[in-house]
């Protein structure tokens, strides 16, 4: 009897698992960032915007009562999503569906809900609120990642390690100095996101095509009252300013600029975790590895850098999104076209959700990053003999040796030692060769001190400490409030 490998589950079997499950949400995303882009946050923000509009209109003399405002305030979280969906199906309009659902629980306020506004009043302003709140969360997690990573840099500021250029051994640096390169990239990202937060404008009260014509009608042509209403609504929603001019929507270049900041964070994270993956291969540095974690289903001995790999994977996705935002910004016709809507529902939340996961992972990796000092030193000592020959040559010349003879001696011994390393797979024996050659007798009694790795790291320890003291610590002190906030959840899986 043969089995049908094409058979599908029958009706009533696995029904809960027959819908696509988005891995970014179900597998990786934090609760904090998920909430920012959730229906609960979105539609309660719509209601807050309607309340802010009504309050501003009341203060400026329109026929909007405090009783109506209070009724709206009392029901801001009382949302019947099923009813809103039924209204939306009836009207084929999501905003009007929620206007009527709000009116069901705030019947006295129903006549003035959304007064003078267009759909983009709630839609675009809510997008801006979500972008602000999401950037504030990203800022907080950037600060936390910097705090943990800078501690790692400080701890290993003096530990010599091989530098690499072209992924070939180069002059020595220190483990901590290398970590400052990662810190510096994240610091640049932090500066950029702070700038975007500071200059982010609300769309405000702009009307159908951005001319505020409906509000001019409501206020009988009073320009000052319309301007005051716009300012007041922004204040109530926590914004210092609105965008100076708009069509029906705020310019989509704002979305693009913000996504480039997130792309920058993704670039920094990819660079850092790419380095960690390479160092893990060298067995010098390893990311945290849980006691019961399995590295491979087949090779039980493996310790794969799966968190760093996940960072790189998600970072690659985030880096791919700004071109889509650029296309959207460029493709907006005149005062507005609706071809921006569907794609923005995807790339705005997903960019933030993925970046949030990346930063959670960076903090986790940095906090548990393990250095194997003996392996680091072993690799240093395999290459250091070659690097130290110039110092040895200079010391011998100072003792009266012939520079050209010494140079030729170094060349001959280096070639022979290289042949042993590469041809026979044996340790580097250059120092033993020099120790046996009377040409270098002047340094025989101090060879060990001449090849102390710390002598070859230049100012790396000082650079690390200066960078932390002058660049990182002032930022961490200024943003201490970000460090005081505990995240509600960590990494998943």
Contact present, 268 and 185 (Cβ < 8 Å): yes
Contact present, 440 and 392 (Cβ < 8 Å): yes
Contact present, 264 and 189 (Cβ < 8 Å): yes
Cβ-based neighbour number of residue 456 at 10 Å:
18
For residue 202, give the DSSP letter: B
Instruction: Write out the two tokens for 9.
Output: 């589950």
User: Which sequence positions are flagged as catalytic?
Assistant: 166, 296
Contact present, 159 and 174 (Cβ < 8 Å): yes
Contact present, 464 and 177 (Cβ < 8 Å): yes
Distance from C-alpha of 273 to C-alpha of 365, rounded to nearest angstrom: 9
Contact present, 225 and 57 (Cβ < 8 Å): no
Cα pseudo-dihedral 466, 468, 469, 474, rounded to 10: 140
Q: How far is CA 353 from the centre of its chain?
A: 9
What backbone phi and psi angles, to 5 degrees, belong to 12? 90, -5
């Amino acid at each position: 009897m043969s089995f049908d490998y094409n058979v599908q589950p029958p009706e009533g079997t696995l029904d809960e698992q027959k819908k696509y499950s988005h891995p970014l949400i179900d597998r990786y995303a934090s609760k904090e960032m998920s909430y920012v882009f959730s229906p609960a946050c979105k539609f309660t923000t719509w209601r807050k915007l309607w309340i802010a509009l009504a309050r501003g209109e009341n203060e400026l003399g329109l026929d909007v009562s405090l009783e109506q405002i209070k009724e709206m305030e009392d029901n801001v979280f009382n949302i019947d999503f099923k009813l809103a969906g039924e209204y939306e199906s009836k009207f084929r309009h999501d905003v009007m569906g929620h206007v009527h659902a709000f009116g069901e629980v705030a019947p006295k306020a129903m006549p003035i809900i959304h007064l003078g506004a267009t759909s983009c009043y709630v839609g675009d302003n809510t997008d801006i609120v979500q972008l602000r709140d999401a950037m504030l969360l990203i800022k907080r997690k950037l600060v936390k990642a910097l705090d943990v990573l800078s501690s790692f840099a400080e701890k290993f500021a003096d530990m010599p390690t091989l530098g690499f250029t072209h992924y070939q051994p180069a002059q020595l640096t220190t483990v901590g100095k290398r970590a400052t390169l990662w810190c510096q990239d994240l610091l640049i990202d932090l500066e950029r996101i702070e700038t975007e937060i500071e200059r982010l404008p609300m769309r405000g009260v702009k009307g159908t095509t951005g001319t505020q014509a409906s509000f001019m009608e409501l206020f009988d042509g009073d320009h000052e009252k319309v301007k005051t209403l716009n300012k007041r609504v922004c204040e109530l929603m926590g914004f210092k300013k609105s965008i100076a001019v708009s069509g029906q929507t705020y310019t989509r270049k704002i979305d693009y600029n913000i996504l480039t900041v997130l792309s920058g964070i993704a670039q920094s994270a990819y660079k850092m975790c790419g380095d960690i993956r390479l160092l893990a291969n060298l067995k010098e540095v390893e990311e945290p590895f849980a006691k019961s974690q399995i590295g491979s289903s087949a090779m039980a001995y493996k310790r794969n850098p799966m968190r760093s790999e996940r960072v790189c994977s998600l970072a690659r996705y985030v880096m791919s999104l700004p071109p889509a935002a650029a296309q959207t910004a460029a493709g907006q016709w005149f005062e507005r076209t609706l071809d921006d809507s569907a794609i923005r529902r995807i790339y705005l939340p997903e960019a933030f959700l993925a970046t949030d996961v990346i930063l959670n992972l960076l903090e986790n990796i940095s906090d548990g990053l393990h250095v194997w000092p003996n392996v680091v030193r072993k690799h240093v000592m395999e290459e250091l003999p070659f690097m130290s020959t110039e110092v040895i040559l200079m010391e011998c010349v100072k003792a009266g040796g012939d520079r050209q003879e010494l140079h030729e001696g170094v060349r001959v011994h280096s070639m022979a030692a290289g042949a042993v390393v590469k041809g026979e797979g044996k340790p580097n024996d250059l120092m033993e060769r020099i120790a046996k050659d009377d040409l270098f007798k002047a340094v025989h009694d101090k060879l060990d001190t001449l090849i102390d790795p710390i002598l070859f790291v230049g100012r790396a320890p000082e650079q690390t400490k200066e960078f932390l003291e002058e660049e990182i610590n002032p930022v961490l002190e200024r943003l201490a409030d970000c460090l005081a906030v505990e995240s509600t959840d960590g990494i998943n899986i």
